[in-house]
Amino acid sequence: MSSVEINWDEKICIHAGECVKGLPQVFKVEDGKFVIDPGGASVDEIRGVVAKCPSGALSIK
């Protein structure tokens, strides 16, 4: 499990879906809202998916 803080900037997100496809247990859409559950994967897995974000809307603290 992870103890990382993930930031999402909805203003620059282009909704490419790389995060949802890459780690659906962490990045998901529930009731029309984007939800991030950092406890759903390891820090390394999350870092890998965040690095693939084409708009740079995701970052790790």
pLDDT value at residue 3: 72
Domain count for the chain, please give it: 1
Question: Tell me, what CATH number does 54's domain have?
Answer: 3.30.70.20
pTM of the model: 0.88
Rounded CA-CA distance 7/36 in Å is 9
**Residue 15 placed within a domain:** yes
Rounded CA-CA distance 59/12 in Å is 12
**Residue 54 placed within a domain:** yes
pLDDT value at residue 61: 86
Give me 31's structure tokens: 């009731």
Rounded CA-CA distance 58/50 in Å is 6
**Residue 13 placed within a domain:** yes
pLDDT per residue of the chain (61 residues) written in tens, 0 to 9: 557 899 999 999 999 999 999 999 999 999 999 999 999 999 999 999 999 999 999 999 8
pLDDT value at residue 32: 92
**Residue 29 placed within a domain:** yes
Rounded CA-CA distance 1/3 in Å is 7
**Residue 1 placed within a domain:** no
Q: Which domain holds residue 35?
A: 6-60
